[in-house]
Chain A
């Protein structure tokens, strides 16, 4: 095999060797090469000692309330109209399709029944009211549903040991 340490060689094979990522064939081939190659064998020994040392770098334990805090932040990030609509969720969930269908029927009726296109005065600026679009409402309902699922999950995960 070509020496991994020479210019143009694949030095990462020595990293993979120390990490135990080489397959059996490649490992045997490198073992044979290192019997006669001091730079490679020294490098591999040094890398293996670094690898073992890094194993000792233990992380600290994670707070028990990590999930609870996260779900609380998710809840805070939900738009105001979602929180506002939450109590009405069961009602809206069933009434939205009905209201949409009724709206379509009413609109169709108005269009068919319209005798002459009369000029319509533009609505005064001050009379404009911010309204929720159907997509916003649907998104809000989805958010409510996910938050409901999170609320069911939190007591379970809060008790779990990290």
Chain B
């Protein structure tokens, strides 16, 4: 690794994750490292945002903003936490803001009308009958609605816990809560989901 990057990392070098090292290289002006970070985290960030706001166009727009903020913050970046913690803090902040101000509501209605975000709902498996596909879509819709009814913070915690496989401590840092608060939050969220999805077992 570049000597200047090593110096910038100081005593943290031993505990730093590879992503933070890449981000420090971006700070040093290495565009290729930014491309690697984008390649690695593009899908997790977009998928997280999609499950949060449940609109693909909005999720991509928010993801663009996330990576733009990462790029713009490169000069002031300090590896005080895991890179993914920082990344998902930005993503969660943007998702919660967009849900609260309802900025994308009209776009969502528009997309619902013309079914522009339905590629995943096409019959993708040739071995799957239309009936099976319809059952699958009905289940998906039910799960989607169950997740959507969770309070925003609970939703974010469940998505990070389930799909990003984050530790409680990391989710706590992202949501700026204590670890015990996150455990209670997750427990309540899963209780709600169990009640709503129990019949699907």
Contacts and interface: CB of A to CB of B under 8 A. Distances in A.
A37 B183 CA distance: 22
A149 B187 CA distance: 46
Interface stretch (B7-15, B32-40, B91-99, B101-109): B32-40
20 contacts: A19-B165, A49-B197, A50-B194, A51-B162, A54-B143, A59-B51, A59-B120, A60-B117, A61-B120, A62-B42, A70-B67, A73-B68, A145-B29, A149-B30, A149-B31, A150-B31, A153-B31, A153-B32, A162-B42, A162-B43
A69 interface: yes
Contact of B63 (A66, A145, A147, A157): A66
Interface in A30-86: 45-47, 49-54, 56-63, 66-67, 69-70, 73-74, 77
A15 B188 CA distance: 11
A58 B162 contact: no
B182 to A, nearest CB: 9
B71 interface: yes
Nearest to A76: B68
B50 interface: yes
B60 interface: yes
Interface string B12-52: 00000000000000000111101100110011001100110
A149 B71 contact: no
Contacts of B68: 70, 73-74, 77
The secondary-structure label for the interface of chain B is: helix
B186 interface: yes
B60 A50 contact: no
Given A46-B194, A77-B72, 5 more contacts: A12-B186, A50-B190, A61-B119, A66-B64, A149-B35
A150 B64 contact: no
A146 interface: yes
B186 A15 contact: yes
Nearest to A143: B29
Contact of B39 (A47, A61, A145, A157): A157
Contacts of B67: 70
Contacts of A49: 194, 197-198, 200-201
A11 B50 contact: no
The 10 closest A-B pairs by CB, nearest first: A149-B31, A49-B201, A146-B31, A59-B47, A60-B56, A142-B29, A46-B194, A60-B120, A53-B197, A153-B35
Pick the most buried of A11, A53, A69: most chain B CB atoms within 10 A of its CB.
Answer: A53
Nearest to B28: A142
A150 B139 contact: no
Contact of B140 (A11, A58, A77, A146): A58
Nearest to A154: B35
Contacts of B64: 66, 69-70, 73
Interface in A63-117: 63, 66-67, 69-70, 73-74, 77
